[in-house]
Amino acid sequence: MLISKLNPEELTPEQLVTILYPGDPKESELYGDCIMVFGNGNLDRAKKAIELYHEGKAPLILFSGGDKWGERDEIEAISMKRFAITQGVPEKAIVIETVSNHTKENVLASILVLDRALGLHRIKRIIAVSDAGHLRRCLLTLRTYMPNWIEFIMIGTGTVPPPNWWEIKPIRERAKKEIHSLIKYINEGQIEDSEIII
């Protein structure tokens, strides 16, 4: 079924997880030309990217994220870069994008950074890191705006799903809100629609 045709109010917790989280990649596919991190104001995503870098999954990390329309004291990408350097990632292995304020802008603003760092025509696979519940939106946004020859491996932070997540009201409400947002952005034409088996 197309995501745009779903009724969020009729979805079970298991179906919500299936929609929001694209699933774990095969270990044999877990490598790329770059690890792209979608910023969010904390360092969980940066920690996962650093771990992947140290495991040799990609030679370059791209930290993406601005100051959230002035709401953040520090630009997200800069704070993640500074943290990565303290964790042993060489500065030459890091590029940053500092102007984006949301997922679509993360992707759009990263295209030029990636082209200057690696050459878009040379990139075959990107490992994208975000919160588990944000991965479907990231994937659809990447597929909509990045060149179609690039593959995307999606890596989520945290447990997927957290134990008893449906019983935790803030997490449950956030998941439902994310489904509504996905449908809205698809219907507006901001991200591509996708068939999903639920």
The tens digit of pLDDT for each residue in 1-48 reads 999 999 988 988 889 888 998 888 888 889 999 999 999 888 999 999
pLDDT confidence of residue 142: 98
The confidence band for 161, taking pLDDT boundaries of 50, 70 and 90, is: low
| 11-44: b (≥16 Cβ within 10 Å) or e | beeebbbbbbbbeeeeeeebbbbbbbbbbbeebe
77 or 26, greater pLDDT? 77
Evaluate if residue 164 carries a pLDDT over 90.
Answer: no
- How large a percentage of the chain has pLDDT more than 70? 97
pLDDT confidence of residue 162: 65
| 131-154: b (≥16 Cβ within 10 Å) or e | bbbbbbbbbbbbebbbeeebebbb
Give the closest residue to 146 by CA, choosing from 34, 56, 43. Answer: 34
Evaluate if residue 160 carries a pLDDT over 70.
Answer: no
pLDDT confidence of residue 67: 84
Sign, Cα dihedral of 44, 49, 50, 52: positive
Q: pTM of the full predicted structure?
A: 0.93
